[in-house]
Amino acid sequence: MKWPDGPQTPALLQSINLVVNPLKYLDKCAKYYGDIFTIRFLSYPPVVVISNPQGMEEIFTANPKQFNSGEANRMLPRTFSGDSSLLVLDGNLHQRRKRMLTPPFHGERMRAYGQLICDITKQVMMQWKIDEPFHVQPSMQDISLQVILRAIFGLNEGTRFQHLKKLLNSLVNLLSDPWSASILFFRTLQQDWGPWSLWGRFVRLRQQVDEIIYAEIKRRRNDPSLLGEDILSLMMTARDESGELMTDVELRDELMILLIGGHETTAMSMTWALYWIHHLPKVYENLMVELDTFGSDLEPTAIARLPYLNAICQETLRIYPTVIFTSYRIVQEPVKIMGYQFEPGTFLSPCVYLTHKREDLYPEPNHFRPERFLERQFSPYEFLPFGGGNRRCLGKAFALFEMKLVLATILVHLKLVLADLPPVKPVRKVVTVAPSKMYLIPTEEKVSTSNTLVYR
């Protein structure tokens, strides 16, 4: 089999580059080798990186049996996901689990969370003070974690999960700089040298999270009247084809992946959006014209349909997609992609970031220009922040809905300005690429709307 060209530096060096400075490294590789190249990681077979819409189409429209992703995700450090979440399943099991988990994140069930998302946003905003800079990212993490916790554990479980919220925040923040995050990718660093070592702290926090989750599962098993419409209840009552219920370990693995996957990605995307909106006055003005004509009544479904707000969210996810690669696709039967013949066992890696940086699709790709999404429709192989095909993100609709409601709620209530700090740049987090430290300052409360907050 002929491998596409790629860098010849040692695998260790390539791995370090990809963990510490992934975007710069990918830009460099694409410049030298074009839209299909081979890179090498430690403890992995070579990986073929693809950033061409034709290649995406060939992968995303193939028969799901042609590629396995769960098998590849099982090779990732099992820090959060365990052995039995959607992320690590393939074939019929994957299809069935996905079908089961899809409804709560779509349609009416999703829209039921609209008012709650706005209310949680307002609660978090109440902690901000006029003329005092606040760190945007923790606030967005607070909002998205509360939202996903409520979706998973039920609308009325607010205070029950304050402790879980704190632990999950600590767990994610523990690995939030590139050096700490590298522990996820280099298995030899995963040593428990006691509660003060990085891995030791991680393992202990994760254990506390597990205990709370298992206790909640037990509480509901013991008293079925506690089962409601939330995702945990749904999973606890669903039976597979042989009539079996999910085990506690399977439930725990699935919850963990939804909590971690659904929380950081959305939080970082909202942080980026707030950055762009306040960094570019014209974008802010255009958006406020749209939100002002909309009036003071924040009706969630109508907010979700606003075209310029939608274009801002799309451009935010285009220019720095928080997830830069989709899951790997491991070839199962010989296949031709972009003219290359790949044998079973080959790792393909559709690259969201590089596809979104293509000059032929997105002229001046480094410029934030929401209008491009109003001027033309991009195909699912050109714009793919949520991946595609049978592995497409489960939370796509939910994340976009949440982003729009949170942004609109903040902007109609408060005038904010960016604090004067060094320019914001992308940095690696646990599973995402996020903006570096960024502060906003509330300068005035807008009293023209009916939903005013009270600031002191």
| List 36, 393, 412, 431, residue binding ligand HEM (CB under 6 A) | 393
Q: How far apart are CB 41 and ligand HEM at their closest, in Å?
A: 17
Q: Choose between 322 and 409: whose C-beta lies nearer to ligand HEM.
A: 322
Q: CA–CA separation, 388 vs 391, rounded Å?
A: 6
Which residues, 47 to 76, sit near ligand HEM by CB under 6 A?
A: 69
Which residues, 333 to 352, sit near ligand HEM by CB under 6 A?
A: 352
Which residues, 241 to 270, sit near ligand HEM by CB under 6 A?
A: 257-258, 261-262, 265-266, 269
User: 23 is written with which tokens?
Assistant: 């975007």
Number of shown-chain residues binding ligand HEM (CB under 6 A):
28
Residue 322 binds ligand HEM, judged by CB under 6 A: yes
Q: Judged by CB under 6 A, which stretch of 38-46, 124-132, 288-296, 391-399 contacts ligand HEM?
A: 391-399
| List 391, 404, 413, 429, residue binding ligand HEM (CB under 6 A) | 391
| List 113, 153, 386, 401, residue binding ligand HEM (CB under 6 A) | 386
Q: How far apart are CB 399 and ligand HEM at their closest, in Å?
A: 4
| List 18, 19, 87, 348, residue binding ligand HEM (CB under 6 A) | 87
Binding mask 199-238 for ligand HEM (x = CB under 6 A): ----------------------------------------
Q: Choose between 199 and 275: whose C-beta lies nearer to ligand HEM.
A: 275
- The sign one gets for the Cα dihedral 266, 401, 165, 125 is positive
Q: Judged by CB under 6 A, which stretch of 3-11, 76-84, 209-217, 380-388 contacts ligand HEM?
A: 380-388
Q: Choose between 258 and 412: whose C-beta lies nearer to ligand HEM.
A: 258
Contacts 24+ apart (CB under 8 A), 247-251: 247/84, 248/214, 248/217, 248/218, 249/82, 249/83, 249/84, 250/84, 250/85, 251/213, 251/217
Q: Choose between 52 and 269: whose C-beta lies nearer to ligand HEM.
A: 269
Q: How far apart are CB 2 and ligand HEM at their closest, in Å?
A: 25
Binding mask 92-121 for ligand HEM (x = CB under 6 A): ------x------x----------------
Contacts 24+ apart (CB under 8 A), 204-212: 205/167, 205/170, 205/171, 205/174, 206/79, 206/80, 206/171, 208/167, 209/164, 209/167, 209/168, 209/171, 209/256, 210/252, 212/161, 212/163, 212/164, 212/167
Q: How far apart are CB 9 and ligand HEM at their closest, in Å?
A: 27
Q: Choose between 16 and 117: whose C-beta lies nearer to ligand HEM.
A: 117
Q: How far apart are CB 78 and ligand HEM at their closest, in Å?
A: 15
Contacts of 210 (CB under 8 A, 6+ apart): 252
Residue 304 binds ligand HEM, judged by CB under 6 A: no
Residue 387 binds ligand HEM, judged by CB under 6 A: yes
Contacts of 200 (CB under 8 A, 6+ apart): 192, 193, 194
Count Cβ atoms within 10 A of the Cβ of residue 76 and give its class: 0-12 exposed, 13-18 middle, 19 or more buried: middle
Question: 270 vs 109, 275, 301, 435, CA distance in Å?
Answer: 22, 9, 18, 10
Q: Choose between 16 and 145: whose C-beta lies nearer to ligand HEM.
A: 145
Is residue 212 within a helix (H) or strand (E), and if so which, with residue range?
Answer: helix 198-222
Maximum alpha-carbon separation in the chain: 68
Q: CA–CA separation, 89 vs 73, rounded Å?
A: 9
The residue count of the chain comes to 456
Q: Choose between 88 and 441: whose C-beta lies nearer to ligand HEM.
A: 88
CA-closest candidate to residue 313, choices 269, 379, 376, 247: 269
Contacts of 240 (CB under 8 A, 6+ apart): 96, 246
CA-closest candidate to residue 340, choices 32, 59, 8, 64: 59
Binding mask 166-195 for ligand HEM (x = CB under 6 A): ------------------------------
Q: CA–CA separation, 320 vs 121, rounded Å?
A: 23
Residues that bind ligand HEM (CB under 6 A): 69, 86-87, 98, 105, 257-258, 261-262, 265-266, 269, 322-323, 326-327, 352, 385-388, 391-395, 398-399
